[in-house]
Amino acid sequence: MKSVFIFIVLLQTMLYNTALFAETPQDLFIAVIQGKQQRVQNILMQGIDVNTPIASGRTALMAAAYSGNFRIAKLLLTYGANVNLSDKQGTTALMDAIIFGDQRIVKLLVTAGAEVNAANAQGDGALEIAKKIGRKQLQKLLQSAGAKEQVRETAKKEADAPQKEPAQDKAAKTDTQAE
């Protein structure tokens, strides 16, 4: 009877500690930024969803790509990280990898199915980002993966908009029609 009581107390303590120290997506994100691969793996083994974003919409894969951690990026992909998620500014892990400049991570993400023609909120795609920051090798890699120049929505809207008549011409037409 005493051993059953001890077992119940131990079980309750374990359950309490597990609930008290349960890992969160924020913990995963921080571990990724810190480059703590073993901690990342332990958190993922607890069942944290690898694709759950933090408040800014950023995911653990974006953090790994931005910080240039190839091993952790690869680990996150084995746990099902979605390469095409974007944060609140439309930035994807591929765009983050380009900013960091690690060709291995860019290749890894492209091979994993990253959309090379996705555009962020500013209308920049991966190729434009690579051009802006002078990553010529990454530009070639992206182009070979099918990346195209982004057509800016504002430029497209302006080109499609009907041409306005100058104010003087309008007034002259009105006068001519009134006669």
- Is residue 29 within 8 Å of residue 64, measured between CB atoms? no
**Average pLDDT along the chain:** 83
Res. 3 pLDDT band, cuts 50 70 90: low
* Mean pLDDT computed over 80-107: 96
Residues 6 or more apart in contact with residue 82 via CB below 8 angstroms: 51, 59, 61
Q: Look at residues 64, 40, 55, 149 and name the one whose alpha carbon lies nearest to residue 112.
A: 64
pLDDT at site 73: 98
pLDDT at site 149: 87
Q: Which amino acid is at 86?
A: S
pLDDT by residue (tens digit) across 153-176?
544 444 454 554 444 444 444 444
The listed CATH number (3.20.20.120, 1.10.10.10, 3.40.920.10, 1.25.40.20) that belongs to domain 23-153: 1.25.40.20
Q: Look at residues 108, 111, 104, 141 and name the one whose alpha carbon lies nearest to residue 126.
A: 141
0.85 exceeded by pTM: no
Which CA distances in Å does 42 have to 28, 54, 135, 148? 9, 19, 35, 39
pLDDT by residue (tens digit) across 27-59?
999 999 999 999 999 999 999 999 999 999 999
Indicate the domain borders of the chain: 23-153
